[in-house]
Structure 1
Amino acid sequence: MGISACLITKNEEDALTRSLAMISPYFDEIVVVDGMSEDKTVEVATRFGAVVIQREFSGSFAIERNCGIERVHNDWVFILDPDETLGPEFLSMLRDLTSSKGYDAYSFLRYDVLPDGTVLETPCGHPEIHVRLAKKDRLRYYGAIHEKAVVDGKIKFIPEVIYHHRGYFEDYPQEKKERFDAIGRDASSDLQGLNISSRALFVRNVKLVFHYFRNMLVGMKLYRRGPSGIIRAIRYTYSFASYGLKQYIRLGQI
């Protein structure tokens, strides 16, 4: 079962070199959607045999993600950012997951790594869970900024970790925050990547809250800790729901 890796880039030559050296032995195809980089990003991608799609930034990260997914040739796609790292065991596991016929997508944990090497397991007050591996025709993204995976099918949570290496400490740099806020604020409905009604989006988000609680309680095995584990699962789920709601409202995605 073939798997394609899909990344979006903009002036990422150093990070992309590390990323492609790490993942290239494990994927049948690599697709890079590049936002007209001015450094050697495209040269690096080409050197590793990646398919490069160069285009001006559309104003929506969801659109860029969807562009890459629509370009891949294999049945399965894995979504990765250049500043994320995965261990060999994680990468080797992916092909086994695609051979299972019971699921259409898989989600994983993502931990932030600060410049000093500190690993943040709950950077937003709760563990982050991201869909990254999915059947190509079942996965698309929604949201001009902080885009979210939308899966038409069954998702299985795998409690393995993707490490996101921040170039900054705990808070967003002000310039980056303002740039991201501007993208969300200025994005029209046609820049959200998918045509989803407010009602459908609300229903989806409610379902996500219940799925998140199950993933914490069962997937992360917090139930084994007894009442304290159940309380922690509830706290994490409350943080997940409140953080997500604030983010959607702030970015105009609800």
Structure 2
Amino acid sequence: MSFAKDGGVILSKSCLLSVAMIVKDEEQNIRRALESVKDVADEIIVVDTGSKDRTPEIAKEYTDKVFFHEWKDDFSEARNFSLKFPKCEWVLILDADEEVSESFRENIRDFLKELPKDVNTIYVPTISFLDWDLLTKEVTSTARIFRNGTVYYKNPVHNQPIYKPKVVKFPHGVLHYGYIWTRKLRKRKYERSKKLISEHLKNIKDKNSDEYIYYLVQLYKVECIGGKVHERRKVGWKVFEEIKRIGRAPLIALEFLFLFGMDLVSIGLFDLAKEMFEIAISARKDFPDPYFGLLVVHYNKKNYEEAIKWGEKFFEVYNSVLSKIALFEWTIMSMKYIQAAHLIMSHLNLYLGNLKEGKKHLHLARKNESMENVEAIVKNIKEFLVKTADKKQLDDLKDYIKDLIDFSLYKGLNITWDDLVEKLADSKVKIDFDIPVKSSLARLILEKLKDPSKDFFLDVLMNRSSSEIEFLEDAGVPGVILMYSKLSAEKRNIDLLKKLRHWENSINSIDVKGVLRALIGDVFLNLGNFSEALKNYKKAVELFPEIGRFIKPILEDLKTSVSKDTPGIFEELEKFFLENKELILDVRKYIDTEVLKRFYLISDNDFAKYVSAVS
């Protein structure tokens, strides 16, 4: 095919830019595309290949140059047909699922006017969004603006332009939404593309050609869209064997080596994936994606020092690419993994003791939106904080921990933070922010962590009882002693007196009533009301005679010295139970073993600490 214009179309000297589109059933997209170019294009050419929806009607709202052409299962044939009609000096190739960016619109006309006459082809970055929230994307630079009459297309699917030099780069991009699919559209695209590519591969005679590798790679990418996993990997192995057989990696193979390498990483074939990435780097050292692949390989193999080296190299090459993105003629797929890369680097730097760099990479991860699943990486970071970080590191990382949790909540990650709360409490790291926890125990630990003055001894002890009274009825005198030891440390005497009287009036056990009366005597003793103290001590002996031997020393002390500093009955009772039992109360009846081990995290009570130590 020649580069000459067909059909005798005469170019207009006053017409700078034409837009040429081929479309079919694009009523959901085409208005966005046409709106984006209506003010920068001198003419818009739309070739409809058989729409059954309102696509032609919408197109006619923007241009009177809408043509109809029978679809012949050949994208190049349709594209070449559309190139018969433009009259302007330059032609922009645009699809209905694309739009030109604002910076493109602002700069394209001045850019074209200033080009010398020997320039015929312009490469433009295409930013492809991969999710509905437009967070995950890929970028590639492709030839899509041509001097009129200097280009034609070949191959029926994934058609390629055959163009004339000289080539220049335009840095302002086109936005592509065609990779955001509904299930129906994904299935339709998969079936159509697989059929066309498979048929074209059969017709390629030279199996050593770049074209053959190109369409094998396209078949693999189509299988990634909608095929079954085993079919995708079967094609992947075929492509890899062919690359090794011909002994070179064409540009399109770079994309494949990264995609298939990441596929192998996902099933744990790290050494084979490493080989893929190294082949890609040997072919083009300025391609950032395989450096990310090697970062992931060594991270998964826990070769952390090697991993951080590849991570630093990845960001070096990646940032270099960003500064000259229009120069790259293949897809930069690692763009969608930037958030993951920063999180991995954050973990690596924490592990190697560089907390400042770890914090920096977490900050950058939060700034780089992505829909990629980073849950496993965040779990790894949390595991480091729980199992490896010491108290000093945790103190230094409090803001980091808060940011990590906020990030996890924002991303909707399924991560349990209970064990980190326990680690912070065990390390006595005070925090002033909330942490989402699942268990009731973790909630208590968190409350005490945020406010060390709180104590949840009784909350845990009575967890299985419907009320204090039910617990005291069941636990008896040892339960009263434990409850009193906790309450007497935190309540004023008047409040303590009210609580003891309430218990006495509500409990049926005579023995427990007797002990409560004795403890009421202790409160009056502390208040200096000795007559009430004596009255209650005597009443306690009436109710529970066995308690008399503990009260007798108190009465004798009061005969010789009337002082509120006189020790009460509680000290004697507590001493008796602790001397005659390993535990004053068999708390296993009331508290699960796992909770007992953590009892010290929710209470400063000596009994709680002792129970945790022996559990």
Q: What's the TM-score once normalised by structure 2's chain length?
A: 0.31
The 3 A distance-change label for structure 1 pair 98 and 114 is same
Match of 1:52 in 2: 66
Q: Per-residue deviation at 1:159?
A: 3.0
The 3 A distance-change label for structure 1 pair 109 and 39 is same
Q: How does 1:14-163 map to 2 (within 5 A)?
A: 14-99=28-113, 100-101=115-116, 102-122=118-138, 127-163=139-175
Give the secondary structure class of the aligned counterpart of 2:21. strand
Q: Per-residue deviation at 1:28?
A: 0.9
Contact 1:139 1:150 in 2 (8 A): yes
Q: Cα RMSD over matched residues?
A: 3.8
Aligned partners of 2:92 and 2:207: how far apart in 1?
A: 28
Aligned partners of 1:48 and 1:69: how far apart in 2?
A: 19
Q: Greater helix share, 1 or 2? A: 2
Q: Per-residue deviation at 1:158?
A: 2.5
Q: Per-residue deviation at 1:184?
A: 2.3
Match of 1:12 in 2: 26
Are 1:180 and 2:193 counterparts? yes
The 3 A distance-change label for structure 1 pair 21 and 228 is closer
Q: Per-residue deviation at 1:33?
A: 0.9
Q: Per-residue deviation at 1:104?
A: 1.1
Contact 2:287 2:317 in 1 (8 A): no
Contact 2:154 2:161 in 1 (8 A): yes
Aligned partners of 1:182 and 1:19: how far apart in 2?
A: 28
2:170 aligned partner, one-letter code: I
Q: How does 1:181-220 map to 2 (within 5 A)?
A: 181-187=194-200, 209=251
Rg (Cα) greater in structure: 2
Give the secondary structure class of the aligned counterpart of 1:160. coil
Contact 2:101 2:172 in 1 (8 A): no
Corresponding residue pairs, total: 218
Give the secondary structure class of the aligned counterpart of 2:87. coil
Q: Per-residue deviation at 1:179?
A: 1.1
Contact 2:141 2:330 in 1 (8 A): no
Q: Per-residue deviation at 1:83?
A: 1.1
Q: What's the TM-score once normalised by structure 1's chain length?
A: 0.70
1:92 aligned partner, one-letter code: E
1:155 aligned partner, one-letter code: V
Aligned partners of 2:88 and 2:210: how far apart in 1?
A: 29
Give the secondary structure class of the aligned counterpart of 1:45. helix
Give the secondary structure class of the aligned counterpart of 1:137. coil
Give the secondary structure class of the aligned counterpart of 2:172. strand
Q: Per-residue deviation at 1:76?
A: 0.8
Q: Any unmatched runs of 5+ in structure 2?
A: 1-14, 215-247, 255-283, 289-311, 334-615
Q: What's the CA shift string for 1:2-45, capped at 9, x where partnerless?
A: 21101111111231122212211111111011012111111111
Q: Any unmatched runs of 5+ in structure 1?
A: 218-225, 244-254
Q: What's the CA shift string for 1:83-109, capped at 9, x where partnerless?
A: 112223212322223221152111111
Aligned partners of 1:34 and 1:148: how far apart in 2?
A: 20
Aligned partners of 1:60 and 1:167: how far apart in 2?
A: 23
Contact 2:19 2:41 in 1 (8 A): yes
Aligned partners of 1:55 and 1:119: how far apart in 2?
A: 36
2:191 aligned partner, one-letter code: E
1:185 aligned partner, one-letter code: S
Give the secondary structure class of the aligned counterpart of 2:158. coil
Q: Per-residue deviation at 1:214?
A: 10
Q: What's the CA shift string for 1:177-215, capped at 9, x where partnerless?
A: 12111122335999x9xxxx999966xx99x84xx9699
Aligned partners of 1:129 and 1:41: how far apart in 2?
A: 28
